[in-house]
A and B are shown apart, each in its own frame.
Chain A
Amino acid sequence: MNPPVATAFFFYLLAATMIIGGILVITRKNAVHSALALITALLAQAALYLMLYAPFVAGVQIILYAGGIMVLFLFVIMLISIERNMKERQFNKQWLVGIVAAAALGALFVTVYTKTSRGVSLFIEGRMSYGESQNTQMIANLLFDRHAGMYMFAFEIASLLLLVAIIGAVVMAKKRI
């Protein structure tokens, strides 16, 4: 069977964008550059969601992460003057701990992912149509439907969490309460 070159090409392109973006996020001195790198990574991830037949999550990713949260980040970076901070040391002395911890975790992931049962990887790809055109409706059914919706309670809890976050953010940012 011919390997699906287009899919592989786009996957590796987007994956490379994400990895490079991630590396830039944690290495840039300037927080604005970090934020821009993170935005690039997030947009690449939205494209990966589309490749995974999850258009609704991709849309939410763009509108909330790239258009909302990251604007908030940029806003805050601009409110606090960063010139002085940029002259300081950027990394703390825990880099050894960081590398070790990351290596240990990486080893764990590698062992899990390469584990096979009877010569077949645990996570093979099934081949079927995923009903992309009904994606949004199906997510809505899971969230809101009176009979099939099992996440309604979780949804309400999430909205409560957002309310708490709003109040928390207002209290934190206010100078005089």
Chain B
Amino acid sequence: MHSIVEYITSYLQSNQTPGAAGNFAWATIYILLVFVGLSIAVICMNWLERKILAHMQVRLGPMRVGPHGLLQPIADALKLLLKEDIIPAEADATVFWIAPFIVVLAAFTVFVVVPFGPTHAITDMNIGILFMLGVSSLAVLGIVTAGWASNSHYPLIGALRSSAQMVSYEVAMGLAVVSAIMMTSANAEGTGTLSMIGIVQAQLEQHEWFLFKYFPLGIVAFAIFAIAMVAETNRAPFDLPEAESELTAGFHTEYSGFRWSLFFLAEYSAMIAVSSIAVTLWMGGWLRPFPNALSGPTWDLVFSLFPGLTFLFLAALCFYSTARMPKHPLFRIQTMGLAGFGVVLALIGLILFWGPARTRIEDIYWFSAKVAGFMYLYIWYRGTFPRYRFDQLMKVGWKVLLPTGLALLILTAIVGMRTEILSMFQEGLR
């Protein structure tokens, strides 16, 4: 008994990820934490997307279920779970059944290597970024099989479109990623790394985000990735596979209820996953702003107050909305609910000011904040842009992003090796 407790607690002293420390108990806990957190994030994202998009489009969005529609995602989830699960008679039932699970598994498995902090990852792999790209590329298999198994024209065209789109943009995406990985090797030993944690640590050691490294190469690489990742997740303006005005709903036209909600879940977690890659590779992952310039205990304290302050701000927003709720008996429960939600948020905020919680949560907070910025961008794109046509999408992928990526790769290599190249020239001159 004692040994079990010791086994479980032994991890807490180590400064490794549970996977690297070989501690299966903590690895399991981390897996549960990440997946529960991910599901909550998807639910929040659902609500936020509807509200933000609504306010961009002079509407209110969900307002009925709970105060300001806060319970709407839960109501939707319940509705989807209770809905009849229809399998078309002509469909290939087995493949139709498996397809959504492939997509969900691919979208969730990538989070095994996402570093929320130097120790806050399920595991640290030597091939971390390769693993992420590889597993996220498996999602296309699920989409293709879903479209095929529906045995209908629209899903099939949607599936073909999406497979072509995802495979083409993976190339450009890969090139941008390779240029960032090259930047990790700009150190004394000249060895880079594919490990997600290693990449962030390289940014810490080199005193800059790779976004600004070798200006403007880092920004160009990031831009390529930022475009490719929207295409990769099939979101507006690249949401051709589910272009509702052309193909009704694309590859998941025939899906309903629970299985459809799996596609939904996978789409949003894939968005979070690619945003995590972008944050890790170019925006310093879990690092707080200016970790080197503004170092020292004072600044550490100031920046570690941010998580608590954010929650207090959200709580203040809640209380403000509570004060603005209609003063009518019918709204009493909603008003109380909103106030209660505010109190919970404020309590969480206060807990986050407590020393140990503060230090443990800070990395996760900065990582999530950066990812949340990307999520907002996704919503913003959706409110702003029309949809690309398929051939134009391919043109952007193959004729713009790919050549730019190749040139970028070569330029990054040249700039990274400039001292060696110069010395070679000098040797040649001599």
Residue numbers of A with Cβ under 8 A of B are: 30, 32-33, 36, 39, 55-56, 58-60, 62-63, 66-68, 70-72, 74-75, 77-79, 132-137
Contacts and interface: CB of A to CB of B under 8 A. Distances in A.
Contacts of A133: 126
Given A55-B126, A75-B164, A132-B126, A63 B95 contact: no
Q: A30, A60, A62 — which one has the most chain B CB atoms within 10 A of its CB?
A: A62
B167 A63 contact: no
B194 A136 contact: yes
B125 interface: yes
A128 B160 CA distance: 48
B144 A56 contact: no
Contacts of B126: 55-56, 132-136
Q: Chain B interface mostly helix, strand, loop or mixed?
A: helix
B141 A74 contact: yes
Contacts of A136: 126-127, 194
A55 B137 contact: no
A18 to B, nearest CB: 17
Nearest to A70: B141
A14 B315 CA distance: 50
A79 B159 CA distance: 11
- By DSSP majority rule, is chain A's interface helix, strand, loop, or mixed? helix
Interface of B: 92, 94-95, 98, 125-127, 130-131, 133-135, 137-138, 140-141, 144-145, 147-149, 156, 159-160, 163-164, 167, 170, 191, 194
B191 A78 contact: no
Given A63-B137, A70-B141, A71-B144, A78 B159 contact: yes
Contacts of B94: 33
B131 A62 contact: yes
Q: Which residue, of B135, B144, B191, has the highest number of chain A Cβ atoms within 10 A?
A: B144
A14 B319 CA distance: 55
B137 A67 contact: yes
A54 B363 CA distance: 31
Given A30-B92, A32-B95, A59 B134 contact: yes
